[in-house]
Every structure is written in structure tokens, then in C-alpha cells.
Structure 1
């Protein structure tokens, strides 16, 4: 009997050991191939691109943060944590009314611009962390901050091309700010909405052909076939003219190259920040040669824009569901007849 009980405990121990081994090797929360995090032994471990971080117990949640990229403000706002921000760079690019009001009251400070950060000011503010996208030309500034005991966290959310993976960064900000439950709930809400919208789009009878972006000078920066723009168009059940391309970056083309691919295009999206089709022609008279310019519909991402600030690049980074909803409303208006566009705007 004792041998039977001993054998039973041994089997249970082995099973538990295997479970522990399995958990320890798979307990990373994968936001994307670029970014993962996990908590173990009181440590928050993060892999973000080429950078790794280990925050000990007590270092997080952060109470004072500085944002050097306006796009990250969207995650903070969705978590209702604007009061934790003590500094931002280039505040003119931030759309959030609450953050702008905190700037006006002096509770959030301007710490420079995308050309030059006020490093001395940042050091004097003693933030728990500074969040930014890594830019090699600012290496000296980053090193000065680190030398003064300031944690600089580099994130790659702007590089993510799958819409829900970009949204998923809210989970990481939840870990940083002690709002894990709120972050998980928001992600699940957006994910559920997004997947339901994808299914709705499949009910459309037609699959229109779509052109994107515009020319700068003599070059048309056309989104590659694996970029976020291309993925949104696909998920909205439309046919992007570069859908067979495998690039996750913009493709540089001449007007003639794009013109050759534009036959049958019915919609033109993300067409800069123009205010009218007439104004587009002032910028580039060649646009008049495109059938979509004369017979189709053209949309910009200026639906929520205030001077230099555009909410498409702020809350839109988190609310992938609303961005997709806009595209579906554009391509298949019959599926969402009552919906008013959030980020997009039709040019007249």
C-alpha cells in the first residue's frame, strides 16, 4: 500500500514537473515577433526588438513617465493614465484633449522636439521611465539619460504591420503602469470587435479594387503588400493593387508605374492630408489622369485632425477595430449604413 501511494506521488510529481517546465518555457506574452514580456520571480522581463529589460519588484508600476513619441499617447489615453505623464516632446502632434489640458495647466511639460530633446530638463524631472522609438541619431541623448539613472524604454509599435499586434502593445503599457486588467479588457474588446467586423466584411457581394497613399515629389510611396494598410484593406474584403507583394515597407514607384496598375481602381485611400480634389491637383496635376480621381472615391485620414495633430496616428494605433470599421464603411457602405466615419474623410 505504501509503495502504491509512493508511486502515485512520484507520478504526480513528474506530471507537475512537466507542467512547470512547460509553463516556464511558454509563459512569455507575445505581442508580436518583435516584442514579448513575462513576469517571473518578481521580475518583469521584456524583449523589444534588439533591446531587453529586467525590472525588479518595486521598479514598476511607473508613477512618472515621459513620452518622446506622440503615437504612444494613444495607449496611455485608452488606459486613462494621462495623469502619469509628466513630459512629452513635440506636443503639437498630440491630439488628446486631456493631455493638451494638462500641458496648459503645467502638469505636463514640453521636453523638446523630434529634432532636439531638452535632456537637462528631462533629467531634472526625474521620471521613472522615458518611452520612445529608437532613433540612432539620438544615441548620445539616450546615453546621457541612462548615465543619470533614467530608464529609457525603446518600443517598436510603429513597426508592427498586423493591426491587432499594434493594438496588443496596450498590454505592455498595462504592465508598466499597473493597469494589467484594464489593458487586457481593452485588448479583448478591440480583438472581438475586429474579428466580428472581418466576418461582416465577408458578406459583401463585391470586392472593390483599391489604391493607397500618394506622391511626394516624383515618387509614389505605395504601401507594400504586407504593410498595415494592405492588411486593413484585405481584412475589409477589398483588393489592394499590390496585394501579391511581400514587402512590409513602402514601395517607391513613379507615376507611370502606378498608372499602369490603376485600371479598375474604385477607391483611393490614405491620400495624404488634402482638403479637396482641387487642392490635390495643385499639388500634382498628373492625378487627373487617373480614372479613380475622376470616377472613383478618394479618402484621406483627416477625419480627426486638429492643426498638426491627427488622432489616426494616436488612438488609431490602439483602436484597430474602428480603423477597420472605417474601411468597411468605405468599401461596403451597405454593410454599415448608419455608421459615420471616425478617422477617414471623403474628398469632394
Structure 2
């Protein structure tokens, strides 16, 4: 996945953006350990990671926003609120057809990419808010935009490792965009579907062993045992190759280390966006030594891909139920005989 991070900023006059872990959000809505929000009189208080924000009720709902991450486009598209987007960065990575159409029609502007952002264009768009991940190396740029009256909201959803908590950011976007009821209904649908699918997966008596991700150079970035990938595999009633690991981030392993753990692996998932096994071998001939490559099944994440844009990292962030359904279809095909994969694609 290509995580894109971008600049931005926060206006102190309109929004108080400060690091203050002492604020209590126990009476509000908790999305996860990273994100909570509540209402206190005429103020909506938001805590996101190390940052807190105070929004006056007169400031919300936001009418014009700039997005600097494709994943955040997934939340807004799920709400059908694309009309509030006035600018995006790196539009080539955005899958949404509605957003792409609005870009072509000039209703949404391209504000640059992770190498260089068009600060003047962002200022000219006069957005109510800009949503982005926080990158410490861009703090000077955030300050520059802050000085020009631009407010920023840092949402590091990539830190979330529980699929339903990552999907629950939908409720926050609903709150900030004045679509709270629709967001709650959408999230409830995802949650209900997800939990029903988990129960369905348990009907299978087989619990296959699963390998995930791929190598980059000489290193295999294997998802830790507490990452979202590992949680999806577990919820789909399969056994992850390093299920006892406690990391919430990728583990680095050599091919030899992965090879030593790969005996009995039946499925290999999230094997990049390759088009075929032949292409994978051309990139790394070592793959041919794995039993799962030769006699098992290998799945990439190119089921919904258009040039550089991959919907697995956009709508797939929100629709945890669809992602889980894909995994169940892969590991226990008899449980979903008529379902066709959405994000995953078997490599031949």
C-alpha cells in the first residue's frame, strides 16, 4: 500500500489544536483508543492521537474540505458527500468514479502530491477543513498554512488495527459533515454484516494456515499478529502464520525465516497487485520455493484497481464487511457459494 501523507495545519483562532492528553472524553463517542469526540455546550471536542480540537457549533457542518489521503475519500464517498470536496492531493491514487468525474469537470482541484503541495491553491480554495495524516517533517508547512487561516484535522486511521474501529471513523465524518444519522446507519450496517460473517465463518471445521504480504528487496514485511490483516484472517476462521505475535505493525523477516514457518500454508493473501504468478517469479524467483506458491492458492489485492488507484485502500477501509467476506470466500468457499470476490483476485 502506498500511504500518502501531506501538509497541513490548524487555525488557532477558529480551532484550538493542541497536544493535551488530560482532556476527558469518557462521556462522548469513542471510535478507538486514538479517536474520541464529545459535545460540551456549544463546543464539539475532538481528540485524534496526540491532538485535540475544539469546534464551535457555528463551524460545523463543514461545507468545503480538502483531502490529502485516498483512504479519507472512502469515508466521504460512503456517505455520498463528494460535493463537499473542493481539493485532493495525488488524484491518480483515488478510485472513486464520482471524485474522478468532479476532477475532470473542475469541481475538485488537484492540490499537488506528497512531493510538493500547491499551498497557494489550497489557500485560494478557502476550505473549512483539511483532513490528513500527521507527518512531523511537514510541521513547518502546517504552520505556514495555519498562518494563512487554514485549519487542519489530523486523522491517522492507518494506526487502527481493529477493522470495525477503522470503519467507525465514518461516524466522525458524519458528525463533522452534518450527516450523523446516515453515518450511524451506514456503520451499523457494516458492523452487523461483519459480526454475522464472523459467525458464518465459524461454521467451517477447517482452519487453514495463511501467509500474507510479500517481499520488497530482501525483506518480507509480514503483518504482525495484532495488525488488521491478522485480525481479518482470525475473524475469517483461519490461522495466521504468526498468530502468536503481538506486534501491531509489520515484522521484517528474511525469505529463509518465512520459508521455515511456511510448512502447511494453504493460502497466501495480500500478495501485492500482481497480475500473475509468472510476474511474481520474475520479481522474486525465491517465491517458487514455497509450497503454497506451487500447490496452494495465491491472492493479490487487484480486484478493484484502476491504473494507480486501488479501492482496497479506499472503500475497503470503510467496508470491513466486504473485506472479511472476501477472506471467508477464499478460506471457506463452500460457505459463500454464489459470492464473487470484491477486492481480492486469485493469481494464476
Same structural fold, with TM-score higher than 0.5 when normalized by the shorter chain: yes
Distance 1:247 1:132 in 2: 25
Tell me the equivalent position of 1:312: 312
Report the count of equivalent residues.
Answer: 325
Structure 1 residue 26: Cα displacement: 3.8
Tell me the equivalent position of 1:107: 107
Greater fraction helix: 1
Alignment of structure 1 residues 1-348 onto 2, 5 Å: 26-348=26-348
Tell me the equivalent position of 1:13: none
Q: 1:294 to 1:25 in 2, by over 3 A?
A: closer
Identify unmatched segments of 5+ residues in structure 1. Answer: 1-23
The SS at the match of 1:322 is: helix
Structure 1 residue 25: Cα displacement: 7.0
Distance 1:102 1:150 in 2: 23
Distance 1:280 1:232 in 2: 24
Deviations 1:268-315 (A, max 9, x none): 000011100011100000000000000000001100000000000000
Distance 1:136 1:296 in 2: 43
Distance 2:316 2:244 in 1: 26
Larger Rg: 1
Structure 1 residue 252: Cα displacement: 0.3
Distance 2:96 2:205 in 1: 38
Distance 1:68 1:178 in 2: 21
Q: 1:104 to 1:25 in 2, by over 3 A?
A: closer
The SS at the match of 1:298 is: strand
TM-score normalised by L of structure 2: 0.92
Is the Cα contact below 8 Å between 2:25 and 2:37 reproduced in 1?
A: no
Distance 2:42 2:203 in 1: 48
Distance 1:71 1:54 in 2: 24
Structure 1 residue 124: Cα displacement: 1.2
Q: Runs in 1 of length 4+ with deviation above 6 angstroms?
A: none
Larger RCO (CA within 8 A; separation ≥ 6): 2
Distance 1:116 1:169 in 2: 27
Is the Cα contact below 8 Å between 2:25 and 2:38 reproduced in 1?
A: no
Distance 1:273 1:156 in 2: 24
Distance 1:275 1:326 in 2: 18
Identify unmatched segments of 5+ residues in structure 2. Answer: 1-23
Is the Cα contact below 8 Å between 2:166 and 2:318 reproduced in 1?
A: yes
TM-score normalised by L of structure 1: 0.92
